[in-house]
Structure 1
Amino acid sequence: MRYGEVAHFSHPQHRLRLEHLDTLFRCDGCKEAGIGARYRCPVQGCAAADHDLHRQCALPLSPPPPPLRHPFYPKCAFHFMARAPGAPGTRYCNACGRDVAGFVYHCRACGFDLHPCCATLPHALDASDRGGRVGVRLYLHPKAEAACHRCGHRGRSWTYRSHCKSYSLHVACVMDMVVESWNGVGRNKGASTGGRGVYDGALVAGSGGYRVPVIRGAAKSSHASRGGSYWGMRKGKVKRCCEIAGFAAQVVISAVLGDPTALIAGVVGSLMAR
Structure 2
Amino acid sequence: MGRIQSESHFSHPHPLTLISHADGGATNPSCCSGCKLKLSGMIYSCTICSFFLHQKCFQMPNAITHPFHKEHPLTLLAEPAYAGGEFSCDACAQRGSGFSYHCKPCGLDLHILCAAAPLSLATPRHAHKLGLAFAAPYDTKSFVCDVCSFHGGDHWLYRCIACGFDAHLKCAATAAPRPHCGAALGVPANEQMMQMIQINNALAQAGRGGGDRQLQQMMQLMSALNRSGLDINGVGGLESLLGGGGLESLLGGGGGGLDFIGGLL
Q: Report the equivalent of 2:191.
A: none
Q: What is the number of residues matched between the two proteins?
A: 187
* SS in structure 1 of the partner of residue 73 of structure 2: strand
* SS in structure 2 of the partner of residue 95 of structure 1: coil
Q: Report the equivalent of 1:29.
A: 34
Change (3 A) 1:16 1:156: farther
Q: Quick check: 1:137 aligned with 2:129?
A: yes
Give how far 1:33 is off.
2.5
TM-score normalized by the length of structure 1: 0.50
Q: What is the rounded CA distance, in whole Å, between the counterparts of 1:136 and 1:25 in structure 2? A: 39
Q: What is the rounded CA distance, in whole Å, between the counterparts of 2:20 and 2:179 in structure 1? A: 24
Q: Report the equivalent of 1:203.
A: none
Q: What is the rounded CA distance, in whole Å, between the counterparts of 1:35 and 1:122 in structure 2? A: 22
* SS in structure 2 of the partner of residue 26 of structure 1: coil
Q: What is the rounded CA distance, in whole Å, between the counterparts of 2:48 and 2:249 in structure 1? A: 25
Q: Report the equivalent of 1:257.
A: 248
Q: Is the 8 A contact 1:137 1:163 kept in 2?
A: no
Q: What is the rounded CA distance, in whole Å, between the counterparts of 2:108 and 2:41 in structure 1? A: 27
The correspondence of residues 180-191 of structure 1 with structure 2, limited to 5 A, is 185=181
Q: What is the rounded CA distance, in whole Å, between the counterparts of 2:58 and 2:128 in structure 1? A: 32
Q: Report the equivalent of 1:152.
A: 150
Q: What is the rounded CA distance, in whole Å, between the counterparts of 2:8 and 2:19 in structure 1? A: 9
Report the more deviating stretch, 70-79 or 145-154: 145-154
Q: Report the equivalent of 2:9.
A: 8
* SS in structure 2 of the partner of residue 260 of structure 1: helix
Q: Report the equivalent of 1:95.
A: 91
Q: Is the 8 A contact 1:8 1:59 kept in 2?
A: no
What is the one-letter code of the residue matched to 1:153? H
* SS in structure 2 of the partner of residue 117 of structure 1: helix
Give how far 1:13 is off.
3.9
1:80 to 63, 76, 79: 76
Change (3 A) 1:74 1:97: same
**CA offsets 1:159-179 (integer angstroms, 9 cap, x no match):** 11235444322237789xx99
1:169 to 167, 170, 174: 167
Give how far 1:127 is off.
1.7
TM-score normalized by the length of structure 2: 0.52
Q: Is the 8 A contact 2:44 2:58 kept in 1?
A: no
Q: What is the rounded CA distance, in whole Å, between the counterparts of 2:40 and 2:129 in structure 1? A: 22
Q: What is the rounded CA distance, in whole Å, between the counterparts of 1:173 and 1:127 in structure 2? A: 10
Q: What is the rounded CA distance, in whole Å, between the counterparts of 1:225 and 1:36 in structure 2? A: 43
Q: What is the rounded CA distance, in whole Å, between the counterparts of 1:58 and 1:140 in structure 2? A: 25
**CA offsets 1:39-93 (integer angstroms, 9 cap, x no match):** 243x9xx4657x5424553148xxxx55311111111221111122221255211
Q: What is the rounded CA distance, in whole Å, between the counterparts of 2:55 and 2:129 in structure 1? A: 24
Alignment RMSD: 4.8
Give how far 1:227 is off.
8.6
Give how far 1:141 is off.
0.7
Q: Report the equivalent of 1:58.
A: 58
What is the one-letter code of the residue matched to 1:58? F
Q: Is the 8 A contact 2:68 2:134 kept in 1?
A: yes
Change (3 A) 1:229 1:155: closer
Q: What is the rounded CA distance, in whole Å, between the counterparts of 1:138 and 1:27 in structure 2? A: 29
Q: Is the 8 A contact 1:89 1:99 kept in 2?
A: no
Runs (5+) with no aligned partner, structure 2: 138-142, 184-198, 200-214, 222-227, 229-243, 254-265
* SS in structure 2 of the partner of residue 12 of structure 1: strand
* SS in structure 1 of the partner of residue 114 of structure 2: helix
**CA offsets 1:133-183 (integer angstroms, 9 cap, x no match):** x943121111133422335324242111235444322237789xx99x958
Q: What is the rounded CA distance, in whole Å, between the counterparts of 2:113 and 2:85 in structure 1? A: 19
